[in-house]
Amino acid sequence: MEHEKLNIMNNQHETIGTAARSDIHAEGLWHETFHFWLLKKEDDTVFLYFQLRSPSKKDFPSLLDITAAGHLLADEQPSDGIREVEEELGLSISFENLTFAGVIKDEIHMPSFTDREFCHVYLYMDQKEHMDVHLQKEEVAGLYRAKLMDAQQLLNRECEKMNIEGFEVDADGKRREEKREVHVHDFVPHEPAYYEHLFQAINQFLSQ
């Protein structure tokens, strides 16, 4: 995986070359990713879903993050990113049924690497009463949801905590229902500007 070839972008989102994924992170080069955010409406409440990253992940283990996401390889288009939804969540969703929320720049600075992404962000409102979710245990340890308004306030730093509900899968594949109180530090540290753009796009999507 670390040897996968990704496009290198300049600051204006223009392709200027290719490099191995490991080199792109080590050198803090701009590259492209696919982000999928799952929503569900029950009665008058809209929920936003977060994956719980596997404890065995190299980066940000056991933190909450985008519902499903992945890198776009050098020869891929944003539509190819839909594979991440099936791989990580086991959900078969057509790319044509997603709503484009824009390309959001996001930078994460850590002591060991710098992650600079042009994120192709998509939204999906699930209409099914029950979702048949099957998690890719190497990548995802659980799936949680929060009330959209709670998530917006927490991730925009307007409150200190919120409640989430969902399930986790242990090493033996056993699923257990969970409810947790979480804080900002329980999430992968995306830039505040990323979330501002995301929630603006979600609210516009819901008003249509």
Percent of the chain with pLDDT over 70: 99
The model's confidence at residue 113, banded by pLDDT at 50, 70 and 90, is: confident
Domain 5-206, CATH among 1.10.645.10, 3.40.1800.10, 1.10.1740.10, 3.90.79.10: 3.90.79.10
Radius of gyration of the chain measured on its C-alpha atoms? 17
Give the model confidence (pLDDT) of 80-103 as tens digits. 999 999 999 999 999 999 999 999
Percent of the chain with pLDDT over 90: 86
Give the model confidence (pLDDT) of 30-85 as tens digits. 999 999 999 999 999 999 999 999 999 989 999 999 999 999 999 999 999 999 99
Instruction: Please give the Cα distance from 11 to 194 (Å, whole number).
Output: 16
What is the pTM (predicted TM-score) of this model? 0.96
Instruction: Please give the Cα distance from 111 to 90 (Å, whole number).
Output: 33
Domain map (residue ranges) of the chain: 5-206
pLDDT at 111: 85
pLDDT at 129: 77
pLDDT at 108 over 90: yes
Residue 55: how many other CB atoms lie within 10 Å: 10
The residue among 73 and 172 whose pLDDT is bigger is 73
Contact in structure between 175 and 82 (CB atoms under 8 Å): no
Give the model confidence (pLDDT) of 132-171 as tens digits. 899 998 999 999 999 999 999 999 999 999 999 999 998 7
pLDDT at 87: 96
pLDDT at 2 over 70: no
CA distances from 20 to 5, 6, 9, 78, 94 (A): 5, 6, 13, 19, 29
Scan for tokens 């809209």, then name that residue: 46
